[in-house]
Amino acid sequence: MWYIGAAGGIYYVSHLEKVELTGRWRFMDTSIQAEIATGEEVYMETLAQFRSKLLPPTHPTTRFITSVAQKIIQASELAQRPDESIDNLTSSSPEFDDWASPGSSFSSDPRPVPDWKIHVIDEPKIQNAFVIPGGKIFVFTGILPICQNEAGLATVLGHEVAHQVLRHPAERMSSLKVIFLLTTLLSVIGLDPGTCRAAVTLLMTLPNSRRSEIEADQIGLNIMASACYDPREAIGVWKRMDEHDRSSRTARKATEFLQTHPTHDRRIEKITSWLPEAQSYLDRNCGFTNKAFREYNRWNP
């Protein structure tokens, strides 16, 4: 039995990688090809599930969300290359399908460019958005009142694009293998399978999920700022989300360590601490106009 654990430990350590944008170490053994293949399957299933509620591409709401998504996806390049300005990346104004398709020359990154697609689900009662491996983003119309404005929507989209940029879907796929192995080994040595799953979930799955969410908040903030949206708007979004959850029947009553996402208060606290860094992206990529506007607001409250 010991040699199985030793082999597993060697495999785990040999597949650790450092997240370039945040410095966090993680286990990653899911190839980009596997990520894309899995994403396509999930994408087809999701389209089938919500097909009757998908707004057409020509719908005003879809066009609005897509226009913001274009800016966010383009700006995600700047979040990965902090020393460059948007002028160096956008000598023209290509259409969404031109720079968001696989094999696009927009990125110098050797990894394949995600096949970005935006879908809007007409469901006012669901306040959510999510990304599928490979860059497929789904937005429920119920999130729009919480976004309240274009910058609020940029907050949500920046968060989802950050998940893809950071390859969080692939990281989750990799983590599932570790979880399966751990629960199997613990069961073999005589522990109750249900107890094993609960322990692994509490000690590994939930903390990793919260770390990924916080990481996406941080990078998403830089992305929205690179797209010339005021990062301070992110605080308002999470305050409104908190108010919504408190007033709804689904308000979270569990402590943070039992949740897949950090509490809204913790998110607001972290975002506030990241604002100076995000502001530097805004100043660098949005130039004199933005600085002048802030100075005007400072002296003319």
CB atoms within 10 A of CB 68: 23
| Burial of 7 (C-beta count, 10 Å sphere; 0-12/13-18/19+) | exposed
Beta strand ranges found along the chain (DSSP E): 16-18, 25-27, 117-121, 129-132, 136-140
Pick the catalytic residue from 77, 160, 213, 233.
160
Residues 113 and 101: their CA atoms lie apart, in Å, by 7
Strand-pairing partners, residue 131, are 137
Q: 């919500």: which residue's tokens?
A: 50
DSSP conformational letter for 105: T
Q: DSSP secondary-structure letter at 54?
A: B
> Annotated catalytic, 243?
no
Residues that are catalytic: 160
